[in-house]
């Protein structure tokens, strides 16, 4: 059965998509897919002053990277296109005129200077200037002009706007799927501009007309649009259309929980707020996050399943998501939690799927090392991935798999390198050099046998051995490392450390 659920993500291409915008897209997508409905991308680019070159392509690439594909939108036409408002500009005037004809809207000629003057004057008396019932009949608009005067001003090309005319003394009861009923006194609302004499609609008119023409059933968007809800619902009434259902998602808050998350918070605390890099701001993709991790943590920003479960595949999210479980209050953004999710998904990925990116990270870190075979990278990653939250982190931590240590951790040298250490390691090297089959297991047996026979303790041999192979006191099981490095490299690292650190240290 064809579903009637049609939702849209309607970004304005004014810059990169903020992580909050991505969450809005995600919640729309989850809701649509759960109901077998349609997820639409509509580009709201009517405001040419704020248009930013490349922003639309950025938005599409970000949705694509995250696996939030839209069903209808630019380059994926459905039956209700076009999906860029700039390509729909001829549609809107007729609707503005309809509102003029039915008395829901009126022409206004006030210049920006005169509006500014009124605003200042009000401010000086400690009041706020609202263009509405209170003063609209004292301002320069069609409500006070005869129809001849109006026609002549239009004919002489006076710049105008078309404003919505709020009815007086009404209490509206608006319904929001997340917030319940909201009561609004129409006397407090301003007569918003719907259309301008440059022939372009404002956001409000274009948005409502398009939602109607695109048969949108549910409007799911950020809380910042809640103040526009009354106007939007009233516009539906004015046109005689059935309004969609509305759901306003909670704000995303700073890590401190106080105030809205901003780009600056990311810069200050060192985490991305954009899905992909944009100019000098690093995106989640470039910071090494996996799309499934980003998707999962975004889903938890304001929604919860009502259980302790935190890890969700996209399919599970589609099955379990519900607007009823979206919270009203702001959702605190926790960068540490994001890392936690990434750590989880990095472990969950089949190793093979990580190799191309691991190789990339490696060539960034050590452009001159290698070449390394896939099988080698696979085994290295298998040993070191457990502790890493990012591939670049694994790469840095496992650097010694790709080049011999250039330096040795000073503290470790102080602690582990004794005057007798070179002789001991020399003996270990001899034991290893005679092995035919250089597996971790064989090496371990041989070295342990030698330690026992020499009457030494493990602590006198194993830590210095790690130091010479790794350069520091870290890493997985030392014999696993040896096996991967191979006999030649293991022996040469021992030789090199003896030469560099000598007998006098410690
Ligand atoms: N163009 C608006 C934005 O940039 C869309 C708001 C809405 O979804 O109605 O977010």
CATH number at residue 305: 1.10.1160.10
Residue at a domain's end among 211, 227, 248 = 211
pLDDT of 48 reads: 82
Question: What pLDDT was estimated at residue 309?
Answer: 98
| pLDDT at res. 197 | 87
Distance between Cα 162 and ligand 1 center (Å): 21
Residues 281 and 389 in one domain: no
Q: Which of 15, 20, 50, 203 to mutate to test the pocket of ligand 1 (most atoms within 8 A of CB)?
A: 203
Query: Could you tell me which residues are beta bridge partners of residue 287?
Result: none
Distance from Cα 210 to the centre of ligand 1, integer Å? 12
- Work out the mean pLDDT of the chain and round it to a whole number: 96
* Same domain? 178 vs 148: yes
State the burial class of residue 182 (Cβ atoms within 10 Å of its Cβ: 0-12, 13-18, 19+): middle
Same domain for 191 and 276? Answer: no
Domains in the chain, number: 4
Taking CA atoms only, the protein residue closest to ligand 1 atom 10 is: 11
Q: Does residue 34 lie in a domain region?
A: no
Binned at pLDDT 50, 70 and 90, residue 3 comes out as confident
Regarding whether 339 and 270 lie in a shared domain, the answer is yes
Give me the domain span that covers residue 292. Answer: 263-349
State how far the Cα of 190 lies from the Cα of 206, in Å rounded to an integer: 18
Query: 414 with 399, same domain?
Result: no
Which atom number of ligand 1 is nearest to the Cα of residue 24? 8
Does residue 10 lie in a domain region?
no
When pLDDT is averaged across residues 268-288 and rounded to a whole number, the result is: 95
For residues 201 and 313, membership in a common domain is answered with no
Tell me, yes or no, whether 385 and 466 share the same domain: no
The answer to whether residues 157 and 108 belong to one domain is yes
In a domain, 46, yes or no: no
Residue 37 lies inside a defined structural domain of this protein: no
Percent of residues, the chain, with pLDDT higher than 90? 96
Same domain, 345 and 379: no
- Indicate which residues carry an active-site annotation: 263
Does the structure show a pLDDT above 70 at 46? yes
CATH number at residue 457: 1.10.10.350
pLDDT digits (tens, 9 = 90+) for 279-330: 999 999 999 999 999 999 999 999 999 999 999 999 999 999 999 999 999 9
Long-range CB pairs of 416-420 (<8 Å, 24+ gap) are 416/463, 416/464, 416/467, 416/473, 416/506, 417/464, 417/467, 417/501, 417/505, 417/506, 418/460, 418/506, 419/503, 419/504, 419/505, 419/506
Same domain, 140 and 113: yes
Closest CA to 202 of 247, 163, 243: 163
Q: Residue 302 falls within a domain, yes or no?
A: yes
pLDDT category at 47 given cuts 50, 70, 90 is confident
Q: Is the pLDDT of residue 505 over 60?
A: no
Q: Which of 58, 29, 53, 31 lies closest to 41, judged by CA?
A: 29
Residues 94 and 203 in one domain: yes
In this structure, are 373 and 419 located in the same domain? no
Give 20 Cα–ligand 1 centroid separation in angstroms.
12
**137-175: pLDDT as tens digits:** 999 999 999 999 999 999 999 999 999 999 999 999 999
Q: Give the pLDDT band of residue 370 (cuts 50, 70, 90).
A: confident
List the CATH number of the domain containing 153: 3.90.800.10
Q: Which atom of ligand 1 is nearest to the CA of 9?
A: 8
pLDDT at 428 over 80: yes
Whether residue 45 lies inside any domain: the answer is: no
According to the model, what pLDDT value does residue 369 have?
92
Atom of ligand 1 nearest to the CA of 220: 8
Residue 2 has pLDDT above 80, yes or no: no
Ligand 1 pocket test, pick from 12, 39, 84 with the greatest ligand atom count within 8 Å of Cβ, gives 12
- End residue of a domain, out of 306, 332, 349: 349
CA–CA separation, 3 and 39 (whole Å): 12
Last residue of a domain, one of 174, 194, 211: 211
CA dist 418 and 410 (Å) reads: 13
Nearest protein Cα to ligand 1, atom 3: 11
Write a three-state SS string for 368-401: CCCCCCHHHHHHHHHHHHHHCCCHHHHHHHCHHH
Torsion, CA 418, CA 421, CA 423, CA 425, rounded to 10: -170
Q: Which atom of ligand 1 is nearest to the CA of 12?
A: 4
**Position 124 in a domain:** yes
How do residues 443-494 score in pLDDT, each as one tens digit? 999 999 999 999 999 999 999 999 999 999 999 999 999 999 999 999 999 9
Ligand 1 mean position, distance from CA 64 (Å): 20
8 A C-beta contact, residue 456 and residue 464: no
Question: Within 6 Å (CB) of ligand 1, which residues are found?
Answer: 10-12, 44, 203, 207, 221, 225
- Would 7 be classed as within a structural domain? no
pLDDT tens string 170-189: 999 999 999 999 999 999 99
């Amino acid at each position: 059965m064809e579903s009637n659920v049609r939702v849209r993500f309607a970004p304005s291409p004014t810059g990169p998509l903020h992580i909050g915008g991505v969450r809005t897209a995600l919640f729309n997508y989850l809701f649509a897919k759960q109901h077998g409905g349609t997820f639409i991308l509509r580009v709201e680019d009517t405001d040419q002053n704020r248009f930013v070159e490349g922003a639309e392509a950025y938005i599409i690439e970000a949705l694509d990277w995250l696996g939030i594909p839209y069903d209808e939108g630019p380059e994926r036409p459905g039956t209700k296109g076009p999906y860029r408002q700039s390509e729909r500009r001829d549609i809107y005037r007729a609707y503005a005129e309809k509102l003029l004809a039915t008395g829901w809207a009126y022409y206004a000629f006030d210049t920006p200077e005169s509006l500014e003057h009124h605003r200042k004057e009000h401010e000086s008396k400690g009041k706020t200037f609202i263009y509405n019932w209170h003063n609209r009949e004292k301002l320069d608009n069609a409500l006070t002009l005869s129809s001849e005067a109006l026609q002549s001003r239009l004919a002489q090309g006076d710049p105008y706007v078309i404003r919505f005319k709020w009815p007086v003394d009404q209490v509206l009861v608006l319904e929001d799927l997340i917030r319940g009923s909201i009561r609004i006194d129409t006397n407090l609302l301003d007569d918003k501009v719907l259309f301008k004499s440059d022939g372009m609609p404002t956001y409000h008119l274009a948005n409502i007309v398009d939602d109607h023409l695109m048969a949108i059933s549910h409007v799911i968007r950020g809380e910042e649009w809640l103040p526009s809800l009354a106007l939007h619902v009233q516009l539906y009434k004015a046109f005689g259309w059935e309004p969609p259902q509305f759901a306003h998602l909670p704000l995303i808050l700073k890590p401190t929980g106080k105030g809205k998350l901003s780009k600056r918070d990311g810069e200050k605390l060192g985490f991305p707020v954009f899905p992909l890099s944009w100019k000098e701001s690093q995106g989640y993709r470039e910071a090494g996050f996996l799309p499934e991790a980003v998707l999962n943590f975004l889903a938890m920003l304001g929604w919860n399943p009502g259980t302790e479960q935190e890890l969700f595949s996209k399919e599970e999210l589609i099955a379990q998501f519900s607007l009823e479980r979206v919270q009203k209050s702001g959702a605190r953004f926790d960068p540490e939690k994001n890392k936690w999710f990434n750590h989880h998904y990095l472990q969950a990925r089949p190793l093979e799927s990580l190799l191309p990116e691991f190789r990339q990270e490696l060539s960034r870190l050590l452009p001159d090392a290698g070449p390394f075979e896939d099988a080698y990278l696979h085994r290295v990653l298998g040993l070191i991935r457990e502790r890493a939250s990012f591939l670049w982190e694994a790469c840095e931590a496992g650097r010694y798999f790709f080049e011999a240590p250039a330096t040795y951790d000073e503290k470790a040298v102080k602690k582990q390198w004794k005057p007798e250490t070179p002789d001991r390691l020399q003996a270990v090297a001899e034991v290893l050099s005679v092995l035919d089959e250089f597996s971790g297991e064989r090496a371990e047996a041989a070295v342990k046998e030698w330690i026992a026979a020499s009457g030494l303790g493990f602590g006198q041999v194993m830590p210095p051995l790690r130091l010479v192979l790794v350069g520091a006191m870290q890493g997985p099981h030392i014999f696993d490392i040896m096996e991967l490095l191979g006999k030649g490299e293991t022996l040469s690292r021992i030789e090199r450390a003896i030469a560099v650190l000598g007998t006098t240290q410690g």
